[in-house]
Chains A and B, each alone.
Chain A
Amino acid sequence: MDETVGPSEMIVHLGPQHPMMPGPFRLNAKLRGETVVDSEVEMGWIHKGIEKILESKTYLQGITIVDRICYLAAMTNEEAYVGCVEKLAGIEVPERAQYIRVIMEELSRLQSHLLGMGEYASFVGFVSMFMYTIRDREDVMSLIDSVTGARVTHSFLRYGGVKDDLPEGFKDDVKYVFGNLRKAIDNYEELYRTDAIYKARTKGIGVLTADVAKDLGVSGPPLRATGVAFDIRKDEPYLVYKDLDFKVCTQTDGDVYARIQVRLDEMRESMYIIEQCLDQIPSGPIFPEDTPYGKRSPVMRVPAGEVFHRVEDPRGEMGFYMVSDGSDKPYRVKIRGPVYPTLQTLPPLIKGVTVADIVAIAGSMDTCTSEVDR
């Protein structure tokens, strides 16, 4: 961005720690009147150095670190990391463990979308909506808690399996929670559909067309809101997703309203997937027998090689590129987070909109700054 300011122009700094964005992030917007002429994103306020840290930790210790990339999607981050190690070492995951993983990852998607949607509603002035979604999210968090023993950073996956089996009565708990959640989601949708202010703030705002979104490298709900049915669970199935029946939720408008609608639909699909899993889940081991690595081996050597593994995060495509040199620590890990390209699209997207809409557009991307700033 050109820092020189002409007459009747000014630069407004949004953030760090602006209520519009969870996490330290700064947007410098150059305004003429109330219109954004140019803008620039500043990163690097919480650089955690996760890629560097992973090089000095054993593979098992790495699991607890990757949890902290984005705590809203801890489970999918683990899946991407563990999937890399499994591909490199050639470990087969038993079917029961795969089903448990799918259940946990979809629950994780549910809680992430609930928070993202509620947070967004509060950005455009629906503060009580945030309270409702937090209430419903707590029920989902309790379900996750009952399996993993942790609410936010789970460290639940292991190479080849999962840490624990599902507890007694889990299916009934899920049934009870989902009964309430279905009604709640219908209510949210009804509210969004009928509220004039909400529609005025979201319809036709921040429009991304399919071609532009592809060009900018966007993935996840912002991409699917433009009509591109790109979902890694379908296109490149991992775990047991190829045996499950679900559809990729898309919208055609590509505006803020469509992005929120995609998240609402995806929550319904997630619940459908979990119910199928609970019906189909076979009995059996949750950990492969006769692996050379041992069940919870803290020191495990992974054969040398390079692998790229990607999964569908609540926010889009989460990928890990791992280089192993045959020792017990990864040589190089690159984390390809989904929010990184999404946040990059913010300056072109907010060009020409009014200041009030910056918040609506940035919020609807459901960006997690902590993940960008790893």
Chain B
Amino acid sequence: MDANSIISSLTGKFPEDIYDADIESDIRIIAKVKPENVVEVCRYLKEDLSFGHLCCEFGADYPDRNEIEVIYVIGSYEHPVVLAMKAILPRDAPEVESVVPVYWNANWYERETYELFGVKYLNHPNLKPLVLPQEMLGEWPLRKDYKGFPNKTAKNLV
């Protein structure tokens, strides 16, 4: 399976949900997806296009456009094509459906994105901080306007 046939299969199946699809090279595709239908698209990718390997899932913050992108990088054990799929969310209320039912290992990636960017994953089985302490919830440290976390530490030191 090559990049072209994957793109045509995806856009044929989801003409409304997949847009701005672009082929970077024979083995790299980038596409945008409507956030409401991420789970269906992922299920189709996994079951019909043998994209069974979620490489990673993470966020990227764009304060100028007032958007947060959640990027799913999905590969396969059968073919070398890797798809980077972006769901674009509003920055003030980022919410997207969790893909844990499809890709089991999205669990930790989503917890991490939640605590670092504040993206809320709906129907996630266990959405609580993974790498940061509980009291940093709400600080969203990987957002671009994050000024650091000095105050609480200083207070504790005194």
Which residues of A approach B to under 8 Å, CB–CB? 43-44, 47, 49, 51-52, 214-217, 219, 228, 230, 235-236, 306-308, 310, 317, 319, 321, 323, 331-332, 334, 336, 340-341, 344-345, 373
Contact = CB atoms under 8 A, between A and B. Distances in A.
Majority secondary structure, A binding face:
mixed
Contact of A44 (B24, B84, B131, B141): B131
Interface stretch (B3-11, B36-44, B52-60, B90-98): B52-60
Contacts of A336: 55-56, 73
Contacts of A228: 77
B14 interface: no
Interface of B: 24, 27-28, 30, 52-56, 58, 60-61, 71, 73, 75, 77, 80, 82, 84, 103-105, 107-109, 129-133, 141-142
A51 B141 CA distance: 11
Given A43-B130, A47-B131, A344-B107, A332 B77 contact: no
Most buried by B among A43, A215, A308, A317: A308
A317 B55 contact: yes
B132 A308 contact: no
B28 A44 contact: no
B73 A321 contact: yes
B53 A308 contact: no
B118 to A, nearest CB: 15
B33 to A, nearest CB: 15
A307 B30 CA distance: 9
A306 B104 contact: no
A230 B77 contact: yes
Nearest to A336: B56
Contacts of B84: 306, 308, 321
Nearest to B54: A217
Nearest to B82: A308
Most buried by A among B28, B54, B103: B28
B41 to A, nearest CB: 18
Given A44-B130, A336-B56, 18 more contacts: A47-B131, A49-B141, A52-B142, A214-B53, A216-B104, A228-B77, A307-B24, A307-B28, A308-B73, A310-B55, A317-B55, A319-B55, A319-B73, A321-B73, A340-B108, A340-B109, A341-B105, A373-B131
A365 to B, nearest CB: 14
21 contacts: A44-B129, A44-B131, A214-B52, A215-B52, A217-B54, A217-B104, A235-B80, A236-B27, A306-B30, A310-B55, A310-B75, A323-B60, A334-B56, A336-B55, A336-B56, A336-B73, A340-B109, A344-B105, A344-B108, A345-B105, A373-B131
B12 to A, nearest CB: 24
B50 to A, nearest CB: 10
Nearest to B107: A344
Contact of B104 (A215, A235, A334): A215
A261 to B, nearest CB: 21
